[in-house]
A and B are shown apart, each in its own frame.
Chain A
Amino acid sequence: MSILAKMKMQPLLSVRDLAKFYGGRIGCADVGFDLYPGEVLGIVGESGSGKSTLLSCLAGHLAPDRGEVIFDTKEGLRDTVLMAEAARRRLARTDWAYVHQNPRDGLRMGVSAGGNVGERLMAVGARHYGQIRDAAVDWLGRVEIAADRVDDRPSAFSGGMQQRLQIARNLVTGPRLVFMDEPTGGLDVSVQARLLDLLRGLVREMGLSAIIVTHDLAVVRLLADRLMVMKGGYVVEQGLTDQVLDDPQHEYTQLLVSSVLQV
Protein backbone atom coordinates (compact mmCIF):
# COMPACT_ATOMS: atom_id res chain seq x y z
CA MET A 1 0.00 0.00 0.00
CA SER A 2 3.03 2.24 -0.10
CA ILE A 3 1.89 3.95 -3.30
CA LEU A 4 -1.43 4.96 -1.78
CA ALA A 5 0.28 6.08 1.40
CA LYS A 6 2.60 8.31 -0.55
CA MET A 7 -0.25 9.83 -2.52
CA LYS A 8 -1.90 11.00 0.67
CA MET A 9 1.32 12.66 1.78
CA GLN A 10 1.11 16.35 2.67
CA PRO A 11 2.90 18.80 0.36
CA LEU A 12 6.00 20.34 1.91
CA LEU A 13 5.40 23.58 0.03
CA SER A 14 2.16 24.82 -1.49
CA VAL A 15 2.26 27.91 -3.65
CA ARG A 16 -1.00 29.63 -4.57
CA ASP A 17 -1.58 32.49 -6.98
CA LEU A 18 1.82 34.01 -6.35
CA ALA A 19 2.61 37.34 -8.03
CA LYS A 20 5.33 39.94 -7.86
CA PHE A 21 5.29 43.19 -9.83
CA TYR A 22 8.04 45.68 -10.49
CA GLY A 23 5.95 48.79 -10.94
CA GLY A 24 3.84 48.03 -13.98
CA ARG A 25 6.08 45.19 -15.08
CA ILE A 26 5.31 41.59 -14.17
CA GLY A 27 8.03 39.78 -12.23
CA CYS A 28 5.99 36.63 -11.97
CA ALA A 29 2.24 36.03 -11.80
CA ASP A 30 -0.38 33.30 -11.38
CA VAL A 31 2.19 30.83 -10.08
CA GLY A 32 0.84 27.83 -8.21
CA PHE A 33 2.22 24.38 -7.45
CA ASP A 34 2.70 21.77 -4.74
CA LEU A 35 6.08 20.36 -3.85
CA TYR A 36 6.08 17.05 -2.00
CA PRO A 37 8.77 15.72 0.32
CA GLY A 38 11.66 14.23 -1.63
CA GLU A 39 10.70 15.93 -4.88
CA VAL A 40 13.05 18.00 -7.01
CA LEU A 41 11.36 20.72 -9.04
CA GLY A 42 13.21 22.39 -11.88
CA ILE A 43 12.28 25.86 -13.10
CA VAL A 44 13.56 26.77 -16.55
CA GLY A 45 13.19 29.79 -18.76
CA GLU A 46 15.31 32.41 -20.42
CA SER A 47 16.69 35.51 -18.70
CA GLY A 48 13.84 37.74 -17.62
CA SER A 49 11.31 34.90 -17.59
CA GLY A 50 10.67 35.47 -13.89
CA LYS A 51 12.30 32.31 -12.60
CA SER A 52 14.75 34.11 -10.30
CA THR A 53 12.02 36.47 -9.05
CA LEU A 54 9.89 33.44 -8.26
CA LEU A 55 12.74 31.74 -6.38
CA SER A 56 13.38 34.90 -4.35
CA CYS A 57 9.71 35.11 -3.41
CA LEU A 58 9.65 31.46 -2.37
CA ALA A 59 12.81 31.76 -0.28
CA GLY A 60 11.58 34.92 1.46
CA HIS A 61 14.18 37.22 -0.08
CA LEU A 62 11.48 39.20 -1.87
CA ALA A 63 8.01 40.01 -0.61
CA PRO A 64 5.42 38.93 -3.19
CA ASP A 65 2.56 41.33 -3.97
CA ARG A 66 -0.03 38.59 -3.87
CA GLY A 67 -0.43 34.94 -3.07
CA GLU A 68 0.48 32.31 -0.51
CA VAL A 69 3.63 30.28 0.09
CA ILE A 70 2.56 27.65 2.59
CA PHE A 71 5.32 25.60 4.18
CA ASP A 72 4.82 22.53 6.33
CA THR A 73 6.75 23.76 9.37
CA LYS A 74 7.34 21.69 12.49
CA GLU A 75 4.47 23.65 14.07
CA GLY A 76 2.12 22.92 11.17
CA LEU A 77 1.24 24.68 7.91
CA ARG A 78 2.32 28.33 7.82
CA ASP A 79 2.15 30.99 5.13
CA THR A 80 5.75 32.21 5.00
CA VAL A 81 4.66 35.44 3.31
CA LEU A 82 2.75 36.47 6.43
CA MET A 83 5.37 35.18 8.86
CA ALA A 84 7.34 37.57 11.07
CA GLU A 85 10.83 38.01 9.73
CA ALA A 86 12.38 36.41 12.82
CA ALA A 87 10.38 33.24 12.22
CA ARG A 88 11.19 33.25 8.52
CA ARG A 89 14.90 33.61 9.25
CA ARG A 90 14.70 30.76 11.71
CA LEU A 91 13.25 28.63 8.92
CA ALA A 92 15.97 29.85 6.60
CA ARG A 93 18.69 28.53 8.87
CA THR A 94 17.01 25.30 9.92
CA ASP A 95 14.50 23.88 7.45
CA TRP A 96 15.64 25.74 4.35
CA ALA A 97 18.86 26.09 2.47
CA TYR A 98 19.80 28.46 -0.32
CA VAL A 99 22.59 27.68 -2.78
CA HIS A 100 23.68 30.74 -4.73
CA GLN A 101 24.97 30.62 -8.28
CA ASN A 102 28.13 32.42 -7.21
CA PRO A 103 29.63 30.68 -4.17
CA ARG A 104 31.01 34.05 -3.05
CA ASP A 105 27.44 35.14 -2.34
CA GLY A 106 26.80 32.11 -0.18
CA LEU A 107 30.12 31.75 1.63
CA ARG A 108 32.06 33.86 4.11
CA MET A 109 35.27 34.25 2.17
CA GLY A 110 37.24 35.43 5.22
CA VAL A 111 36.26 32.44 7.35
CA SER A 112 37.79 28.95 7.18
CA ALA A 113 35.94 26.07 5.50
CA GLY A 114 35.20 24.59 8.93
CA GLY A 115 33.82 27.90 10.20
CA ASN A 116 31.67 28.24 7.09
CA VAL A 117 30.14 24.81 7.61
CA GLY A 118 29.84 25.28 11.37
CA GLU A 119 28.05 28.64 11.24
CA ARG A 120 24.55 27.24 10.85
CA LEU A 121 25.17 24.77 13.68
CA MET A 122 26.31 27.59 15.94
CA ALA A 123 23.36 29.70 14.83
CA VAL A 124 20.99 27.05 16.12
CA GLY A 125 22.84 26.72 19.41
CA ALA A 126 25.74 24.28 18.98
CA ARG A 127 28.32 25.22 21.63
CA HIS A 128 30.79 22.36 21.59
CA TYR A 129 33.82 23.18 19.45
CA GLY A 130 34.92 19.57 19.04
CA GLN A 131 31.51 18.42 17.87
CA ILE A 132 31.11 21.38 15.51
CA ARG A 133 34.50 20.66 13.99
CA ASP A 134 33.75 16.95 13.65
CA ALA A 135 30.48 17.76 11.90
CA ALA A 136 32.33 20.16 9.59
CA VAL A 137 34.97 17.56 8.70
CA ASP A 138 32.27 14.96 8.14
CA TRP A 139 30.43 17.28 5.79
CA LEU A 140 33.56 18.26 3.92
CA GLY A 141 34.06 14.54 3.31
CA ARG A 142 30.51 14.16 2.03
CA VAL A 143 31.11 16.88 -0.54
CA GLU A 144 34.50 15.38 -1.40
CA ILE A 145 36.73 18.00 0.20
CA ALA A 146 39.74 16.55 2.04
CA ALA A 147 39.66 16.87 5.83
CA ASP A 148 43.02 18.66 5.84
CA ARG A 149 41.41 21.63 4.06
CA VAL A 150 39.12 22.34 7.03
CA ASP A 151 41.16 25.34 8.17
CA ASP A 152 41.72 26.81 4.70
CA ARG A 153 39.71 29.77 3.54
CA PRO A 154 37.40 29.38 0.55
CA SER A 155 39.54 31.85 -1.38
CA ALA A 156 42.14 29.07 -1.63
CA PHE A 157 39.58 26.72 -3.23
CA SER A 158 38.70 26.16 -6.88
CA GLY A 159 35.26 27.21 -8.15
CA GLY A 160 33.93 23.66 -7.97
CA MET A 161 35.21 23.19 -4.42
CA GLN A 162 33.71 26.51 -3.37
CA GLN A 163 30.36 25.40 -4.72
CA ARG A 164 30.62 22.07 -2.88
CA LEU A 165 31.59 23.92 0.29
CA GLN A 166 28.54 26.13 -0.10
CA ILE A 167 26.39 23.02 -0.36
CA ALA A 168 27.97 21.50 2.76
CA ARG A 169 27.44 24.77 4.64
CA ASN A 170 23.78 24.72 3.68
CA LEU A 171 23.01 21.07 4.33
CA VAL A 172 24.79 20.66 7.68
CA THR A 173 21.65 21.41 9.69
CA GLY A 174 19.62 18.85 7.75
CA PRO A 175 17.24 21.18 5.93
CA ARG A 176 14.13 19.81 4.26
CA LEU A 177 13.93 22.24 1.35
CA VAL A 178 16.82 23.53 -0.73
CA PHE A 179 16.58 26.47 -3.10
CA MET A 180 19.23 26.49 -5.81
CA ASP A 181 19.85 29.34 -8.20
CA GLU A 182 21.86 28.07 -11.19
CA PRO A 183 23.98 25.86 -8.93
CA THR A 184 26.21 24.68 -11.77
CA GLY A 185 26.21 28.06 -13.52
CA GLY A 186 29.81 29.22 -13.35
CA LEU A 187 31.46 25.81 -13.44
CA ASP A 188 33.39 23.87 -16.07
CA VAL A 189 31.38 21.12 -17.71
CA SER A 190 33.48 18.38 -16.11
CA VAL A 191 33.05 19.93 -12.65
CA GLN A 192 29.30 20.32 -13.27
CA ALA A 193 28.91 16.57 -13.74
CA ARG A 194 30.57 15.80 -10.44
CA LEU A 195 28.42 18.36 -8.66
CA LEU A 196 25.24 17.01 -10.24
CA ASP A 197 26.08 13.50 -9.10
CA LEU A 198 26.81 14.79 -5.62
CA LEU A 199 23.51 16.67 -5.47
CA ARG A 200 21.58 13.63 -6.69
CA GLY A 201 23.15 11.50 -3.99
CA LEU A 202 22.44 14.04 -1.24
CA VAL A 203 18.85 14.56 -2.36
CA ARG A 204 18.34 10.80 -2.28
CA GLU A 205 20.10 10.11 1.02
CA MET A 206 18.61 13.03 2.93
CA GLY A 207 15.17 12.85 1.32
CA LEU A 208 15.56 16.52 0.39
CA SER A 209 13.07 18.50 -1.58
CA ALA A 210 14.65 21.01 -3.90
CA ILE A 211 13.70 23.83 -6.24
CA ILE A 212 16.33 24.43 -8.89
CA VAL A 213 16.31 27.46 -11.13
CA THR A 214 18.43 27.07 -14.24
CA HIS A 215 18.49 27.71 -17.94
CA ASP A 216 20.36 24.48 -18.55
CA LEU A 217 17.97 21.80 -19.75
CA ALA A 218 20.59 19.06 -19.32
CA VAL A 219 20.88 19.92 -15.64
CA VAL A 220 17.14 19.63 -15.00
CA ARG A 221 16.92 16.41 -16.99
CA LEU A 222 19.44 14.81 -14.66
CA LEU A 223 18.31 16.40 -11.38
CA ALA A 224 14.65 17.35 -11.48
CA ASP A 225 11.65 15.05 -11.12
CA ARG A 226 9.31 17.76 -12.30
CA LEU A 227 9.72 20.79 -14.48
CA MET A 228 8.09 24.21 -14.75
CA VAL A 229 8.70 26.28 -17.85
CA MET A 230 8.38 30.04 -17.42
CA LYS A 231 8.02 32.80 -19.94
CA GLY A 232 7.25 36.48 -19.34
CA GLY A 233 6.55 35.86 -15.67
CA TYR A 234 4.02 33.09 -16.25
CA VAL A 235 4.31 29.32 -16.00
CA VAL A 236 3.50 28.13 -19.52
CA GLU A 237 3.93 24.41 -18.94
CA GLN A 238 4.65 22.02 -16.11
CA GLY A 239 4.92 18.29 -15.70
CA LEU A 240 7.23 15.33 -15.39
CA THR A 241 10.68 16.49 -16.46
CA ASP A 242 11.32 13.98 -19.22
CA GLN A 243 7.77 14.33 -20.48
CA VAL A 244 8.04 18.12 -20.77
CA LEU A 245 11.41 17.85 -22.51
CA ASP A 246 10.54 14.95 -24.84
CA ASP A 247 6.90 15.77 -25.58
CA PRO A 248 6.56 19.51 -24.99
CA GLN A 249 3.03 20.81 -25.41
CA HIS A 250 3.45 24.57 -25.34
CA GLU A 251 4.77 26.53 -28.27
CA TYR A 252 7.50 28.16 -26.19
CA THR A 253 8.68 24.88 -24.65
CA GLN A 254 8.91 23.33 -28.10
CA LEU A 255 11.05 26.24 -29.23
CA LEU A 256 13.20 26.01 -26.10
CA VAL A 257 13.78 22.27 -26.44
CA SER A 258 14.51 22.48 -30.15
CA SER A 259 17.01 25.30 -29.57
CA VAL A 260 19.39 23.20 -27.47
CA LEU A 261 22.63 22.37 -29.23
CA GLN A 262 23.15 18.63 -29.53
CA VAL A 263 26.54 17.17 -28.79
Chain B
Amino acid sequence: MTDQTAYNFAYLDEQTKRMIRRAILKGVAIPGYQVPFASREMPMPYGWGTGGVQVTSACLVPEDRLKVIDQGADDTTNAVSIRRFFQRTAGIEVTEATADATVIQTRHRIPETPLTEGQILVYQVPIPEPLRFLEPRETETRKMHELEDYGLMHVKLYEDISRHGQIATAYDYPVKVEGRYVMDPSPIPKFDNPKLGGNAAIQLFGAGREQRIYALPPYTQAISLDFDDYPFTASKADHACDLCGAPDSYLDEVITDDQGSRMFVCSDTDFCGSRRAAGHIGPMGTPSAGG
Protein backbone atom coordinates (compact mmCIF):
# COMPACT_ATOMS: atom_id res chain seq x y z
CA MET B 1 0.00 0.00 0.00
CA THR B 2 1.01 3.57 -0.59
CA ASP B 3 1.32 6.25 2.03
CA GLN B 4 -1.95 6.23 4.01
CA THR B 5 -1.19 9.56 5.65
CA ALA B 6 -2.11 11.25 2.36
CA TYR B 7 -5.70 10.88 3.50
CA ASN B 8 -7.35 13.21 6.01
CA PHE B 9 -8.30 11.52 9.31
CA ALA B 10 -11.09 8.99 8.61
CA TYR B 11 -10.94 9.69 4.87
CA LEU B 12 -13.38 12.63 4.55
CA ASP B 13 -12.11 16.22 4.64
CA GLU B 14 -12.98 18.33 7.66
CA GLN B 15 -15.51 20.52 5.81
CA THR B 16 -17.46 17.49 4.72
CA LYS B 17 -17.38 15.99 8.19
CA ARG B 18 -18.60 19.31 9.59
CA MET B 19 -21.50 19.27 7.13
CA ILE B 20 -22.37 15.70 8.11
CA ARG B 21 -22.11 16.48 11.83
CA ARG B 22 -24.57 19.32 11.36
CA ALA B 23 -26.99 16.89 9.76
CA ILE B 24 -26.41 14.40 12.60
CA LEU B 25 -27.03 17.06 15.24
CA LYS B 26 -30.22 18.11 13.53
CA GLY B 27 -31.27 14.48 13.36
CA VAL B 28 -30.58 14.02 17.07
CA ALA B 29 -32.55 17.16 17.83
CA ILE B 30 -35.57 15.92 15.84
CA PRO B 31 -35.67 12.17 16.51
CA GLY B 32 -36.88 10.14 13.53
CA TYR B 33 -36.81 13.06 11.10
CA GLN B 34 -34.90 12.44 7.86
CA VAL B 35 -32.28 15.17 7.41
CA PRO B 36 -31.01 15.64 3.84
CA PHE B 37 -27.22 15.85 3.50
CA ALA B 38 -24.78 16.16 0.62
CA SER B 39 -23.64 12.55 0.42
CA ARG B 40 -20.12 12.15 -0.99
CA GLU B 41 -18.74 9.61 -3.40
CA MET B 42 -16.99 7.00 -1.28
CA PRO B 43 -14.39 4.48 -2.44
CA MET B 44 -17.00 1.70 -2.39
CA PRO B 45 -20.21 1.11 -4.30
CA TYR B 46 -23.65 2.26 -3.15
CA GLY B 47 -25.30 -0.50 -1.20
CA TRP B 48 -22.08 -1.32 0.61
CA GLY B 49 -22.67 1.11 3.40
CA THR B 50 -21.61 4.47 1.98
CA GLY B 51 -24.13 6.26 4.22
CA GLY B 52 -22.99 4.48 7.35
CA VAL B 53 -19.33 5.02 6.50
CA GLN B 54 -19.83 8.77 6.10
CA VAL B 55 -21.64 8.99 9.44
CA THR B 56 -18.94 6.89 11.13
CA SER B 57 -16.25 9.05 9.56
CA ALA B 58 -17.87 12.19 10.94
CA CYS B 59 -18.15 10.65 14.42
CA LEU B 60 -14.70 9.12 14.82
CA VAL B 61 -12.03 10.63 17.03
CA PRO B 62 -8.52 9.13 17.39
CA GLU B 63 -9.38 7.58 20.79
CA ASP B 64 -12.31 5.55 19.39
CA ARG B 65 -12.47 1.77 19.22
CA LEU B 66 -14.48 0.71 16.18
CA LYS B 67 -16.53 -2.46 15.67
CA VAL B 68 -18.14 -3.24 12.31
CA ILE B 69 -20.74 -5.95 11.84
CA ASP B 70 -22.66 -7.19 8.85
CA GLN B 71 -25.76 -9.28 9.65
CA GLY B 72 -24.34 -9.58 13.16
CA ALA B 73 -21.00 -10.98 12.03
CA ASP B 74 -17.62 -9.29 12.43
CA ASP B 75 -15.94 -11.55 9.89
CA THR B 76 -17.91 -11.06 6.67
CA THR B 77 -16.43 -9.27 3.65
CA ASN B 78 -18.33 -6.04 4.13
CA ALA B 79 -17.52 -5.82 7.84
CA VAL B 80 -13.88 -6.67 7.33
CA SER B 81 -13.33 -4.19 4.52
CA ILE B 82 -15.04 -1.27 6.30
CA ARG B 83 -13.12 -2.01 9.49
CA ARG B 84 -9.84 -2.11 7.54
CA PHE B 85 -10.81 1.10 5.72
CA PHE B 86 -10.99 3.03 8.98
CA GLN B 87 -7.93 1.31 10.42
CA ARG B 88 -5.97 2.64 7.46
CA THR B 89 -7.53 6.09 7.07
CA ALA B 90 -7.99 6.91 10.76
CA GLY B 91 -5.47 4.68 12.43
CA ILE B 92 -7.92 3.88 15.18
CA GLU B 93 -8.20 0.77 17.27
CA VAL B 94 -10.72 -1.86 16.24
CA THR B 95 -12.47 -4.54 18.24
CA GLU B 96 -15.00 -7.29 17.80
CA ALA B 97 -16.26 -7.08 21.39
CA THR B 98 -19.49 -5.10 21.58
CA ALA B 99 -18.82 -3.93 25.11
CA ASP B 100 -15.36 -2.60 24.22
CA ALA B 101 -16.42 -0.61 21.17
CA THR B 102 -17.14 3.12 21.29
CA VAL B 103 -18.49 3.25 17.74
CA ILE B 104 -20.25 0.32 16.08
CA GLN B 105 -21.20 0.42 12.42
CA THR B 106 -23.83 -2.15 11.58
CA ARG B 107 -25.72 -3.59 8.68
CA HIS B 108 -29.03 -5.34 9.46
CA ARG B 109 -28.54 -6.06 13.21
CA ILE B 110 -28.41 -4.58 16.67
CA PRO B 111 -25.88 -6.42 18.85
CA GLU B 112 -27.30 -8.83 21.44
CA THR B 113 -25.17 -7.39 24.24
CA PRO B 114 -27.01 -4.33 25.59
CA LEU B 115 -25.38 -1.06 24.57
CA THR B 116 -24.33 1.50 27.12
CA GLU B 117 -24.20 5.26 27.44
CA GLY B 118 -21.43 6.81 25.40
CA GLN B 119 -21.60 4.22 22.62
CA ILE B 120 -22.65 5.17 19.10
CA LEU B 121 -24.43 2.68 16.84
CA VAL B 122 -24.29 3.61 13.14
CA TYR B 123 -26.75 1.91 10.78
CA GLN B 124 -26.31 1.47 7.05
CA VAL B 125 -29.64 2.32 5.44
CA PRO B 126 -30.64 1.42 1.87
CA ILE B 127 -34.09 3.11 1.74
CA PRO B 128 -34.76 5.59 4.54
CA GLU B 129 -38.35 6.37 3.58
CA PRO B 130 -40.83 4.05 5.33
CA LEU B 131 -43.68 5.27 3.12
CA ARG B 132 -41.84 4.65 -0.14
CA PHE B 133 -43.33 1.20 -0.67
CA LEU B 134 -46.81 2.67 -1.15
CA GLU B 135 -46.12 6.25 -2.21
CA PRO B 136 -43.42 6.73 -4.83
CA ARG B 137 -43.46 10.55 -4.84
CA GLU B 138 -40.86 12.12 -2.52
CA THR B 139 -42.79 15.43 -2.48
CA GLU B 140 -45.84 13.56 -1.26
CA THR B 141 -44.06 11.47 1.41
CA ARG B 142 -42.42 14.60 2.81
CA LYS B 143 -45.83 16.22 2.99
CA MET B 144 -47.19 13.14 4.74
CA HIS B 145 -44.45 13.31 7.38
CA GLU B 146 -45.04 17.02 7.81
CA LEU B 147 -48.76 16.49 8.36
CA GLU B 148 -48.41 13.19 10.28
CA ASP B 149 -50.57 11.64 7.57
CA TYR B 150 -49.59 8.06 8.37
CA GLY B 151 -52.70 6.07 7.46
CA LEU B 152 -50.78 4.57 4.59
CA MET B 153 -48.29 2.91 6.95
CA HIS B 154 -51.05 0.82 8.46
CA VAL B 155 -52.35 0.01 4.98
CA LYS B 156 -49.10 -1.86 4.46
CA LEU B 157 -49.61 -3.86 7.65
CA TYR B 158 -53.28 -4.39 6.74
CA GLU B 159 -52.22 -5.85 3.41
CA ASP B 160 -49.81 -8.14 5.23
CA ILE B 161 -52.52 -9.57 7.48
CA SER B 162 -55.08 -9.92 4.71
CA ARG B 163 -52.59 -11.77 2.54
CA HIS B 164 -50.70 -13.83 5.12
CA GLY B 165 -53.01 -13.97 8.11
CA GLN B 166 -50.47 -12.10 10.20
CA ILE B 167 -48.10 -9.15 9.91
CA ALA B 168 -45.56 -10.84 7.66
CA THR B 169 -43.11 -7.95 7.67
CA ALA B 170 -40.16 -9.64 9.37
CA TYR B 171 -37.52 -6.97 8.93
CA ASP B 172 -37.45 -3.26 8.11
CA TYR B 173 -40.41 -2.99 10.47
CA PRO B 174 -41.54 0.65 10.87
CA VAL B 175 -41.59 2.40 14.22
CA LYS B 176 -43.15 5.62 15.44
CA VAL B 177 -40.64 7.81 17.23
CA GLU B 178 -41.75 9.78 20.30
CA GLY B 179 -45.31 9.79 18.93
CA ARG B 180 -44.26 11.91 15.97
CA TYR B 181 -42.26 10.61 13.00
CA VAL B 182 -42.69 7.18 11.48
CA MET B 183 -39.17 5.87 10.89
CA ASP B 184 -37.60 3.06 8.90
CA PRO B 185 -35.19 1.24 11.23
CA SER B 186 -33.15 -0.11 8.26
CA PRO B 187 -33.50 -3.80 7.41
CA ILE B 188 -32.91 -5.12 10.93
CA PRO B 189 -35.06 -8.13 11.87
CA LYS B 190 -38.15 -7.11 13.81
CA PHE B 191 -36.64 -9.18 16.64
CA ASP B 192 -34.33 -6.20 17.16
CA ASN B 193 -37.10 -3.57 17.14
CA PRO B 194 -37.62 -3.56 20.93
CA LYS B 195 -33.95 -2.59 21.31
CA LEU B 196 -34.48 0.60 19.26
CA GLY B 197 -36.56 2.28 21.94
CA GLY B 198 -35.08 3.32 25.26
CA ASN B 199 -31.56 2.41 24.16
CA ALA B 200 -28.70 3.95 26.17
CA ALA B 201 -26.55 4.42 23.05
CA ILE B 202 -26.87 7.07 20.36
CA GLN B 203 -28.30 5.47 17.22
CA LEU B 204 -27.47 7.17 13.91
CA PHE B 205 -28.82 6.13 10.50
CA GLY B 206 -27.04 6.98 7.26
CA ALA B 207 -28.41 6.47 3.72
CA GLY B 208 -25.70 7.33 1.18
CA ARG B 209 -27.51 6.96 -2.11
CA GLU B 210 -30.70 8.54 -0.75
CA GLN B 211 -28.71 11.28 1.02
CA ARG B 212 -30.53 11.13 4.31
CA ILE B 213 -29.40 10.99 7.95
CA TYR B 214 -31.68 10.41 10.90
CA ALA B 215 -31.18 9.55 14.54
CA LEU B 216 -32.50 8.20 17.80
CA PRO B 217 -30.85 9.94 20.77
CA PRO B 218 -30.41 7.82 23.94
CA TYR B 219 -33.57 6.65 25.68
CA THR B 220 -35.89 7.68 22.85
CA GLN B 221 -39.30 6.07 22.54
CA ALA B 222 -39.68 3.99 19.36
CA ILE B 223 -42.88 1.96 19.10
CA SER B 224 -43.40 -0.68 16.42
CA LEU B 225 -46.63 -0.06 14.50
CA ASP B 226 -49.33 -2.69 14.89
CA PHE B 227 -53.05 -3.34 15.26
CA ASP B 228 -54.88 -3.81 18.55
CA ASP B 229 -55.93 -7.30 17.51
CA TYR B 230 -52.62 -8.11 15.79
CA PRO B 231 -50.04 -6.79 18.24
CA PHE B 232 -46.37 -6.53 17.35
CA THR B 233 -44.29 -9.55 18.30
CA ALA B 234 -40.50 -9.77 18.12
CA SER B 235 -40.21 -13.16 16.54
CA LYS B 236 -37.19 -15.41 15.98
CA ALA B 237 -36.60 -19.02 14.98
CA ASP B 238 -38.11 -21.29 17.64
CA HIS B 239 -34.80 -22.86 18.54
CA ALA B 240 -31.72 -22.35 20.69
CA CYS B 241 -28.25 -21.67 19.27
CA ASP B 242 -26.61 -24.95 18.28
CA LEU B 243 -23.17 -23.62 19.17
CA CYS B 244 -23.63 -21.70 22.43
CA GLY B 245 -27.10 -22.86 23.49
CA ALA B 246 -28.47 -19.32 23.87
CA PRO B 247 -32.29 -19.55 23.87
CA ASP B 248 -33.00 -15.86 23.35
CA SER B 249 -30.64 -14.60 20.64
CA TYR B 250 -31.44 -13.97 16.97
CA LEU B 251 -30.47 -17.04 14.92
CA ASP B 252 -29.22 -17.69 11.40
CA GLU B 253 -30.22 -20.93 9.76
CA VAL B 254 -27.21 -22.64 8.16
CA ILE B 255 -27.40 -25.53 5.70
CA THR B 256 -24.50 -27.80 6.51
CA ASP B 257 -24.45 -30.45 3.77
CA ASP B 258 -26.06 -31.55 0.51
CA GLN B 259 -28.58 -33.66 2.43
CA GLY B 260 -30.21 -30.50 3.77
CA SER B 261 -28.97 -30.87 7.33
CA ARG B 262 -29.16 -27.57 9.09
CA MET B 263 -28.09 -25.84 12.23
CA PHE B 264 -29.19 -22.67 13.97
CA VAL B 265 -26.47 -20.35 15.17
CA CYS B 266 -26.39 -16.88 16.72
CA SER B 267 -26.19 -14.21 14.04
CA ASP B 268 -24.17 -12.10 16.51
CA THR B 269 -20.75 -13.78 16.31
CA ASP B 270 -19.27 -11.81 19.19
CA PHE B 271 -22.17 -12.73 21.48
CA CYS B 272 -21.96 -16.42 20.52
CA GLY B 273 -18.17 -16.57 20.90
CA SER B 274 -18.24 -14.86 24.31
CA ARG B 275 -20.84 -17.31 25.57
CA ARG B 276 -18.82 -20.29 24.42
CA ALA B 277 -15.69 -18.79 25.95
CA ALA B 278 -17.67 -18.55 29.19
CA GLY B 279 -18.49 -22.25 28.98
CA HIS B 280 -21.97 -22.29 27.41
CA ILE B 281 -22.13 -25.14 24.93
CA GLY B 282 -24.94 -25.88 22.45
CA PRO B 283 -25.80 -29.34 21.01
CA MET B 284 -23.36 -28.98 18.10
CA GLY B 285 -20.82 -26.74 19.73
CA THR B 286 -17.32 -27.41 21.02
CA PRO B 287 -15.73 -25.63 23.97
CA SER B 288 -12.71 -24.42 22.00
CA ALA B 289 -14.61 -23.14 18.97
CA GLY B 290 -14.71 -19.49 18.01
CA GLY B 291 -12.18 -16.72 18.25
Direct A–B contact in the complex, CB atoms closer than 8 angstroms: yes
A residues contacting B by CB (< 8 A) are 85-86, 89, 93, 108, 110-112, 114-115, 118-124, 127-130, 132-133, 150-151
Question: Cβ of A123: which chain B residues have Cβ within 8 Å of it?
Answer: 149-152
How many of chain B's residues have a CB under 8 angstroms from any CB in A? 21
Q: Is B158 an interface residue (CB 8 A)?
A: yes
Q: Are A110 and B151 neighbours in the complex by a CB distance under 8 Å?
A: no
Please name the 4 residue pairs, one residue from A and one from B, whose CB atoms are nearest each other, closest first: A123-B151, A122-B154, A129-B227, A122-B151
Query: Are the CB atoms of B158 and A129 closer together than 8 Å?
Result: yes
Task: Pick the interface stretch among B159-167, B240-248, B252-260.
Answer: B159-167
Task: Please name 7 pairs of A and B residues whose Cβ atoms are closer than 8 Å in the assembled complex, sorted by A.
Answer: A93-B149, A115-B159, A115-B162, A128-B228, A128-B229, A133-B162, A150-B162
Which of A86, A93, A108 is in CB contact (< 8 Å) with B155?
A108
Which A residues are CB-close (under 8 A) to B229? Answer: 128-130
Name the interface residues of B183-242: CB closer than 8 Å to any CB of A: 226-230
Q: Indicate whether A119 sits within 8 Å of B155 (C-beta atoms), given known contacts A127-B228, A151-B163.
A: yes
Q: CA–CA, A118 to B158, complex, Å?
A: 8
| Interchain CB contact under 8 A, B159 and A128 | no
Do the beta carbons of B155 and A122 come within 8 Å of each other? Answer: yes
**In the assembled complex, which residues on chain A have CB atoms less than 8 Å from the CB atom of B154?**
122, 127
Min CB–CB distance B103 → chain A (angstroms): 38
Please name all residues of chain B whose beta carbon is closer than 8 Å to the beta carbon of A119 when the two chains form the complex: 151-152, 155
- Cα of A130 to Cα of B149 in the assembled complex, Å: 22
- A89, A108, A151: the one contacting B149 at CB < 8 Å is A89
Decide: B158 and A132 in contact? CB cutoff 8 A. Answer: yes
Interface of A: prevailing SS: helix
Q: Is the CB of A85 within 8 A of B147?
A: yes
| In the complex, B134 has a CB within 8 A of chain A | yes
Give the contacting residue for A111; candidates B149, B150, B159, B230; CB below 8 A: B159
- Assuming the contacts A108-B134, A115-B162, asked whether A89 and B147 have C-beta atoms less than 8 A apart, the reply is yes
Task: Check B228–A151 contact: CB distance below 8 A.
Answer: no
Bound Cα distance A123, B144 (Å): 11
Q: Name the residue on B nearest A92 (C-beta).
A: B149
Within 8 A of A (CB), among B56-106: none
- Are A120 and B158 within 8 A (Cβ)? no
In the bound complex, what is the Cα–Cα distance between A108 and B151 (angstroms)? 13
In the bound assembly, the distance between CA atoms of A111 and B158 in angstroms comes to: 10
Compute how far the CA of A108 lies from the CA of B149 in the bound complex, rounded to whole angstroms: 16
Query: Which residues 139-187 in B have Cβ within 8 Å of A in the complex?
Result: 143, 146-152, 154-155, 158-159, 161-163
Interfacial chain B residues near A132, Cβ < 8 Å: 158, 227
Given the complex of chains A and B, what is the CA–CA distance between A128 and B227 in angstroms?
Answer: 5
For B158, the chain A residues whose CB sits under 8 A away are: 114-115, 118, 122, 129, 132-133
A111 to B230, CA, bound (A): 19
CA–CA, A130 and B230, complex, Å: 9
Taking CB as reference atom, which chain A residue is nearest B154?
Answer: A122
CA distance A129 to B232 in the complex (A): 13
Cα–Cα, bound, A77→B149 (Å): 24
- Chain B residue with the shortest CB-CB distance to A89: B147
A114, A123, A150 pick with most chain B CB within 10 angstroms? A123
Complex CA gap A128/B161 in Å reads 12
- Point out which of B154, B158, B226 has the most chain A C-beta atoms below 10 A from its C-beta: B158
Given A128-B228, A133-B162, A150-B162, A86:B151 Cβ within 8 A: no
Set B147, B163, B226, B228: member contacting A86, Cβ < 8 A:
B147
